[in-house]
A and B are shown apart, each in its own frame.
Chain A
């Protein structure tokens, strides 16, 4: 059980004198069992007091210390350093999708503000306030058990690929927060909440890349929660969004022919009578046509389409 020398390449940035960030190397003898937070603290305390980073509880519950380790957001207090060494090096950057303020510290304002979109507080039926606790079955509690473990560390926000290109997207943590109320049996605004997160830039804008759940240090796992919200919205008949129509288009074509009709789905998604939407598809369609990449105009079926149809029929039956 001896210590290993590890080079930490740490992002440094001081807006008062730097126009962009740079990396500074620190070498540390890392003991087995040492967490990355412990290493970063030792860098600050033993080698360079000018390093700025956030941390507080040191036990994975306050959510302060998310940083990018080798390019991926990680809660560093619960991460073993030796697990992350690559060729003797660990690279540490501030979390992404947020503006660096100094060194490993970012401006969290957009993250905190994103929660405002989902009115993150319980809205029970005002006319039925009991004297004691509201009753909830263990099964009903289990539905919000995962989403309420969120510690707001912003690791998901950091590595979300949608947020990288569209700052209007709700973001994974915010949707998990919405989930926590949509699935709370005590909340009386379920339908309005569902409608809100399925319209605008909510659940349907997620691309299923799964980064949020991979980076999440808790059981929140936002992608799973986003999927549960989508399913709830479909069940509630909220089909009048491009995301819902996209899903229906998938089901209609795959359920019929056993494969995706790539001409049909985009049109189905924007809506058959949405002239502006249809026109917006034209440039891509024309480019594909010009390069011979367009799907065949006459859709065909796979050989065993009958089996796929049977699966879908069984599923429909189960849903009833």
Chain B
């Protein structure tokens, strides 16, 4: 059994930033299923939001309003206010840590326009901002040396919670297959999102939402799972992200007829509408036969008028992705794109200090915290604005670190039944290795992803979601006999993929469940059978509780509204 004051699961921006806050004060370990620099924070491209005002008269208040409006008024406004009022300090801090930012002619941090933001607010490093921030924090972990113990390529199998107290985790060393209990006074989950449940997705293969459903299995409800963001500019068929910065820098969206169709949907913001609205506009164009290509199933991102020089300076990654993956030279031809599953607004419910909630009444789990995309605090509500996710991970990563430090200093280890926990972890693994072995792992996963993209995607309706729910139930049943051929202990990625699929099947049902019941359209949850927002009945957060029989129960809790009354949302 390993023992650390604090165990952080996940090594992206939220996990590493929290670790920095704790290093030198407590014995802190970071457990990650990859290596820190592989974390998916690094894939964020366009920028990180803060009202520095380097380009214009931006203010944190404007940032707050844009965030709340962008959320379709589902964000908890007290939490969103923390996000936006701490943003400026956060960016200066990252700059002082060494983050390379692109610069203005006045030598300040450069800022660009982004969807749903009313000022030039996105601080950027060309179009690899997440990469720049992640590597800056990774550099800082070298500086901390032994103060942060990093367990790379360890897979978290279980969260240990008993009597409302988190006691540690069970994890497997991927390189050897060894399973260990990590005893901890405090556990922080910074495990990322669940976008891999979709076929067309910008998410890394690693983004299977394990942390979220591990928490659920440990008796913690999940919040607002039905809110999945679809990014408007995924590379056609690949789903790979082409940064919103492409539109921030002036890129157009064109339908198959060459028309800038955003004119119809967001006449004042045009291509810089928020992501939910732009993705729906694209999908409407495609659904109504105005898509491009032989199957009329995509639209175009057109950068040609920006000129090669500006593209190469500001959007080099976008350029290379289009070139390397589908052979399109973005300076000479428009790039085929489609909406792609991108961000999980839902997740593990947590309060403003990142402590995880146990129920709709506000009771908390002692010693358990969540930050970053796996958490639902909720600063993004029903739709996150671009560049607010990196900010969220940094602001609440640090904040989690601070609250954990206060709560853990002087605390003692709660007892852990090591044998019982190891046995439970082995039971799960054995159920995958020793069963009827009649069902193909990849086939189940593909069917799940296809179902989610087609039936719980940009547009939803009751009938399709009912079918999707039925399919997921059936896939869960088939999964009991999933075939895992690899019997080796070391680097058994076959077993890992089976474990991940188990998580995906579990929480995907909750995405559908929350979406089916919510008979309205709000933010990223858009129903063609209930096309309008219904504040009277649905200005509320969903909480999905796991029942002892494996089923779920949905409950709701009110949204915190401090400054802005919900109004109709137009752009």
Contact = CB atoms under 8 A, between A and B. Distances in A.
A101 B142 contact: no
B103 A136 contact: yes
B95 A33 contact: no
B491 interface: yes
B143 interface: yes
Contact of B37 (A33, A151, A186): A151
B398 to A, nearest CB: 18
B320 A112 contact: no
A152 B142 CA distance: 14
A219 B313 CA distance: 12
Interface in A4-59: 14-16, 33, 35, 44-46, 48-50, 52-53, 55-59
Interface string B475-501: 000000001111011111110000000
B491 A136 contact: no
A60 B320 contact: yes
Contact of A45 (B39, B142, B204, B442): B442
Contacts of B240: 58-59
A15 B484 CA distance: 20
Given A15-B490, A50-B485, A62 B142 contact: no
B488 A108 contact: no
Interface string A115-132: 110011110100001011
Interface string B191-230: 0000000000010111000000000000000000000000
Interface string A207-223: 00000000000010000
A137 B238 CA distance: 37
Contacts of B38: 56-57, 62-64
A59 B131 CA distance: 12
Interface string B117-139: 00000000110100110011001
A297 to B, nearest CB: 51
B493 A60 contact: no
B241 interface: yes
Given A60-B321, A121-B143, A134-B96, A14 B101 contact: no
B102 interface: yes
Q: Provide the main secondary structure of the chain A interface.
A: loop
Given A49-B494, A184-B100, A133 B95 contact: yes
B564 interface: no
B42 interface: yes
A115 B142 contact: yes
B571 interface: no
Nearest to B240: A59
Given A58-B204, A132-B92, A121 B490 contact: no
B496 to A, nearest CB: 10
In which size bucket is the chain A interface?
Answer: 35 or more
Interface stretch (B23-31, B323-331, B400-408): B323-331
Contact of A101 (B324, B441, B491): B491
Interface string B82-107: 00000000011001111011111101
Contacts of A116: 142
B491 A52 contact: yes
In which size bucket is the chain B interface?
Answer: 35 or more
Interface stretch (A141-149, A161-169, A233-241, A271-279): A141-149
A50 B206 contact: no
Nearest to A147: B100
Contacts of A132: 92, 108
Nearest to B102: A141
A138 B103 contact: yes
B241 to A, nearest CB: 7
B284 interface: no
Given A16-B488, A49-B441, A121-B98, A137 B103 contact: yes
A59 B483 CA distance: 29
Interface string B38-73: 111011000000001000000000000000000000
Contacts of A133: 52, 91-92, 95-96, 101, 108-109
A61 interface: yes
A192 interface: no
Contact of B316 (A79, A151, A219): A219
B206 A56 contact: yes
Nearest to B203: A57
Contact of A59 (B102, B136, B241): B241
Contact of B126 (A52, A103, A145): A145
B3 interface: no
A62 B96 contact: no
Contacts of A145: 100, 126
B464 interface: no
Interface string A176-194: 0000110010110000000
A92 interface: no
A135 interface: yes
A78 interface: yes
A55 to B, nearest CB: 6
A115 B36 CA distance: 14
Given A49-B494, A52-B493, A116-B142, A61 B317 contact: yes
Nearest to B100: A148
Nearest to A62: B38
A148 B204 contact: no
A62 B37 contact: yes
A268 interface: no
Contacts of A58: 204-205, 238, 240
A105 interface: yes
A129 B488 contact: no
B488 A14 contact: yes
B324 A61 contact: no
B35 interface: yes
Nearest to B95: A133
A15 to B, nearest CB: 7
A59 B321 contact: yes
A78 B35 contact: no
B287 interface: no
B490 A16 contact: yes
Contacts of B317: 61
Contact of B491 (A33, A105, A122): A105
B560 interface: no
Interface string B152-169: 000000000000000000
Query: What 5 A-B pairs have minimum CB-CB distances, sorted nearest first?
Result: A122-B98, A45-B442, A135-B107, A121-B143, A49-B485
6 contacts: A78-B325, A122-B139, A133-B91, A135-B107, A180-B100, A184-B100
Given A63-B38, A64-B38, A151-B131, 11 more contacts: A50-B486, A61-B128, A63-B37, A64-B35, A78-B325, A79-B324, A121-B98, A131-B92, A134-B95, A137-B103, A145-B100
Interface of B: 34-35, 37-40, 42-43, 52, 91-92, 95-98, 100-105, 107-109, 125-126, 128, 131-132, 135-136, 139-140, 142-143, 175, 202, 204-206, 238, 240-241, 316-317, 320-321, 324-327, 441-442, 483-486, 488-494
Interface of A: 14-16, 33, 35, 44-46, 48-50, 52-53, 55-64, 78-80, 101-103, 105, 108, 112, 115-116, 119-122, 124, 129, 131-138, 140-141, 144-145, 148-152, 180-181, 184, 186-187, 219
